[in-house]
């Protein structure tokens, strides 16, 4: 099955075409356009490019949609999905409107090709209310103000690949089936701890970052909340903040709400603390030269990662594998060492020689470490392509009476 993964920004369109055959995935082509004003025109152009390169068959289009409120999961991207994206655009203004428009454009341009939305919130569908409810009045909750979670594609991939690397093919298979069959398909899933349980803490550390606790392949909680503005300090977004800070800043600094929102999304996070950059490479270089604000930004980031790792470690009664993924997690051994510091008492010991290597899939734990420490490179487009193919194949199987 040839799956086109469409990555849509407000002024950009990037695509990758994969051939998915069971567990095998091959990248056939990729391309993209910047400074886009007419998404319909560039989609036509992309189709022409693909046809000229001999890729005439597109069996499905997959979209990594961010937030749709109550609408979540991996599902056909129909008009209800388009409406849900627009209805929650206030919480994901950079992503939801272009995805709604992109899905509509593909529907108009390629009506016979099925479209699939993989929501970033999908992996958190089964997080219990105790971990997703804020202590707000009931009316706020009814209005959709709750923790949703993001980076679901990446954390689900960690759940699947992590289980494979740890020799738990039973759990890897359950993760593969998760969006089709739901968690109840699992024979070993339970809310309590099982001897056979697999407890993974996944750290997606990149342009934006989150930590997720995963028990037996299913997320039990995440650092991300109502919007991608929450949890760990992000590159230029604030992360968790006391709700009292907003009215306080408005009064003391005489800021409008609009200005507060802008500063918290564009001028905060690692950039706001360091004053140097939103890129960890630049911040680390400045810190190494003695820049105190740059060092503080790194210290706050590492403190926040450890805070969330500790929360899930306790919640799950232990951790079989701590996983690092995405640009920062895959490429910065000094950061992994800092996150893992002084955890020997909990059974985690890093092997410094193994940790020195970057950017490859590997286990960094020392031989006597009870907790494994994995690097799993992220490839979110591939995840979208695979989940799209899984959904459509499951639907075809059901129609043909196989499932
Ligand atoms: P995005 O979230 O935008 O997809 P990434 O996952 O690539 O981005 O994460 C970007 C972050 O990863 C930046 O802070 C950058 O410093 C860091 N990063 C990416 N590649 C490297 C590298 N080779 N070495 C060190 N840090 C890197």
Same domain, 307 and 179: yes
Decide if pLDDT at 10 tops 90. no
CA of 292 to the centre of ligand 1 (A): 22
Triad 142, 140, 182: Cα angle to 5°? 45
Same domain, 280 and 178: yes
- Beta pairing, strands 74-76 & 115-118: antiparallel
Same domain, 372 and 230: yes
Given a contact cutoff of 8 angstroms between Cβ atoms, the answer to whether 151 and 121 are in contact is: no
Return the beta strands (E) in 107-206 as ranges: 115-118, 199-205
In which residue are the tokens 């995840």 written? 383
Same domain, 314 and 179: yes
Encoded tokens for 59: 């069996």
> How many other C-beta atoms lie within 10 A of the C-beta of residue 48?
10
| Of 98, 119, 140, the domain-final residue | 119
C-beta 59 within 6 A of ligand 1: no
Same domain, 108 and 168: no
Q: What is the pLDDT of residues 91-114, one digit of tens each?
A: 998 899 999 999 999 999 899 999
Please report whether residue 240 resides in a domain: yes
C-beta 281 within 6 A of ligand 1: yes
Q: How far apart are CA 66 and CA 63, in angstroms?
A: 9
- Look up the pTM and report it: 0.94
Residue stretches of the annotated binding site for Mg(2+): 7, 380
- Atom from ligand 1 closest to the CA of residue 326: 6
Return the beta strands (E) in 77-226 as ranges: 115-118, 199-205, 209-215, 218-222
Q: How far apart are CA 158 and CA 198, in angstroms?
A: 13
Decide if pLDDT at 195 tops 60. no
Decide if pLDDT at 193 tops 60. no
C-beta 280 within 6 A of ligand 1: yes
Please report whether residue 168 resides in a domain: yes
C-beta 327 within 6 A of ligand 1: yes
Q: What is the pLDDT of residues 347-367, one digit of tens each?
A: 999 999 999 987 689 999 999
| Position with higher pLDDT, 193 vs 19 | 19
C-beta 206 within 6 A of ligand 1: yes
Decide if pLDDT at 184 tops 70. no
Same domain, 338 and 204: yes
Instruction: State residue 19 phi and psi, 5-degree precision.
Output: -100, 115
CA of 327 to the centre of ligand 1 (A): 3
Instruction: State residue 139 phi and psi, 5-degree precision.
Output: -60, -35
Counting ligand 1 atoms within 8 A of each CB, the residue from 158, 204, 206 with the most, and so the one to mutate, is: 206
Residue stretches of the annotated binding site: 7, 14, 279-281, 327-331, 380
Please report whether residue 125 resides in a domain: no
Decide if pLDDT at 398 tops 80. no
Average pLDDT over residues 8-36: 91
Q: What is the pLDDT of residues 219-254, one digit of tens each?
A: 999 999 999 999 999 999 999 999 999 999 999 999
C-beta 279 within 6 A of ligand 1: yes
Nearest in space to 14 (alpha carbons), one of 32, 30, 29: 32
Decide if pLDDT at 13 tops 60. yes
Please report whether residue 376 resides in a domain: yes
Q: How far apart are CA 245 and CA 232, in angstroms?
A: 17
Mean of per-residue pLDDT scores for the chain: 93
Same domain, 231 and 309: yes
Counting ligand 1 atoms within 8 A of each CB, the residue from 12, 64, 235, 281 with the most, and so the one to mutate, is: 281
Same domain, 114 and 181: no
For 358, residues 6+ apart whose C-beta sits below 8 A from its C-beta are: 330, 331, 332, 333, 375
Q: Find the farthest-apart pair of alpha carbons in the chain and give their distance in angstroms, rounded.
A: 66
Please report whether residue 126 resides in a domain: no
The three-class DSSP label of residue 184 is: helix
Q: Percentage of residues in the chain with pLDDT exceeding 70?
A: 96
C-beta 62 within 6 A of ligand 1: no
C-beta 207 within 6 A of ligand 1: yes
What pLDDT sits at residue 285? 98
Please report whether residue 176 resides in a domain: yes
Instruction: State residue 288 phi and psi, 5-degree precision.
Output: -65, -20
Nearest in space to 30 (alpha carbons), one of 50, 8, 52: 50
Rg (CA), the chain: 21
What pLDDT sits at residue 189? 44
C-beta 332 within 6 A of ligand 1: yes
Encoded tokens for 174: 């359950």
Decide if pLDDT at 402 tops 60. no
C-beta 212 within 6 A of ligand 1: no
Please report whether residue 128 resides in a domain: no
Same domain, 195 and 254: yes
Average pLDDT over residues 68-78: 96
For 180, residues 6+ apart whose C-beta sits below 8 A from its C-beta are: 390, 391, 394
What pLDDT sits at residue 401? 67
CATH of residue 307's domain is 3.30.420.40
Same domain, 7 and 68: yes
The three-class DSSP label of residue 275 is: coil
Nearest in space to 354 (alpha carbons), one of 335, 371, 374, 325: 374
Please report whether residue 391 resides in a domain: no
Same domain, 202 and 331: yes
Q: How far apart are CA 159 and CA 137, in angstroms?
A: 34
Encoded tokens for 236: 């230029």
Q: What is the pLDDT of residues 306-359, one digit of tens each?
A: 999 999 999 999 999 999 999 999 999 999 999 999 999 999 999 999 999 876
Count structural domains, the chain.
Answer: 2
CA of 357 to the centre of ligand 1 (A): 16
- Atom from ligand 1 closest to the CA of residue 235: 14
| Position with higher pLDDT, 184 vs 240 | 240
What pLDDT sits at residue 186? 46
- Beta pairing, strands 209-215 & 199-205: antiparallel
Q: How far apart are CA 150 and CA 208, in angstroms?
A: 10
Given a contact cutoff of 8 angstroms between Cβ atoms, the answer to whether 135 and 147 are in contact is: no
CA of 167 to the centre of ligand 1 (A): 29
C-beta 328 within 6 A of ligand 1: yes
Decide if pLDDT at 81 tops 80. yes
Nearest in space to 331 (alpha carbons), one of 308, 301, 362: 362
Same domain, 88 and 187: no
Give the domain extent around 68: 2-119
For 112, residues 6+ apart whose C-beta sits below 8 A from its C-beta are: none
- Atom from ligand 1 closest to the CA of residue 359: 23
What pLDDT sits at residue 369? 98
Counting ligand 1 atoms within 8 A of each CB, the residue from 276, 328, 329, 380 with the most, and so the one to mutate, is: 328
């Amino acid at each position: 099955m040839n799956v086109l993964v469409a990555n849509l920004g407000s002024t950009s369109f990037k695509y990758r075409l994969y051939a998915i055959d069971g567990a095998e995935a091959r990248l056939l082509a990729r391309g993209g356009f910047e400074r886009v004003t007419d998404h319909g025109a560039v989609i036509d152009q992309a189709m022409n490019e693909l046809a000229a390169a001999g890729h005439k068959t597109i069996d499905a289009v997959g979209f990594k949609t961010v937030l749709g409120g109550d609408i979540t999961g991996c599902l056909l991207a129909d008009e209800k999905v388009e409406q849900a994206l627009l209805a929650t655009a206030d919480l994901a203004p950079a992503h939801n409107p272009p995805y709604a428009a992109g899905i509509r454009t593909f529907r108009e341009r390629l009506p016979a090709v099925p479209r699939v939305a993989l929501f970033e919130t999908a992996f958190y569908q089964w997080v219990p209310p105790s971990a997703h409810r804020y202590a707000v009045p009931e009316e706020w909750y009814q209005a959709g103000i709750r923790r949703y979670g993001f980076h679901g594609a990446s954390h689900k991939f960690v759940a699947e690949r992590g289980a494979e690397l740890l020799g738990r093919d039973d759990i890897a298979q359950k993760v593969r089936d998760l969006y089709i069959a739901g968690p109840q398909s699992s024979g070993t899933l339970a809310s309590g701890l099982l001897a056979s349980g697999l407890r993974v803490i996944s750290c997606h550390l990149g342009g934006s970052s989150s930590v997720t606790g995963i028990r037996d392949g299913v997320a039990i909680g995440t650092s991300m909340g109502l919007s991608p503005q929450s949890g760990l300090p992000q590159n230029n977004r604030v992360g968790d903040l006391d709700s009292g800070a907003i009215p306080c800043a408005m009064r003391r600094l005489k800021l409008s709400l609009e200005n507060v929102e802008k500063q918290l999304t564009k001028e905060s996070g690692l950039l706001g603390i360091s004053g140097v950059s939103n890129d960890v490479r630049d911040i680390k270089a400045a810190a190494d030269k003695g820049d105190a604000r740059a060092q503080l930004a790194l210290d706050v980031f590492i403190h926040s990662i450890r805070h969330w790792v500790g929360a899930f470690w306790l919640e799950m009664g232990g951790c079989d594998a701590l996983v690092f993924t995405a640009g920062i997690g895959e490429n910065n051994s000094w950061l992994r060492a800092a996150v893992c510091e002084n955890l020997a008492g909990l059974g985690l010991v890093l092997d410094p020689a193994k940790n020195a290597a970057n950017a490859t899939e590997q286990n960094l734990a020392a031989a006597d470490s009870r907790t494994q420490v994995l690097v799993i490179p992220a490839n979110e487009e591939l995840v979208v392509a695979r989940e799209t193919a899984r959904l459509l194949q499951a639907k075809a199987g059901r129609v043909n009476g196989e499932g």
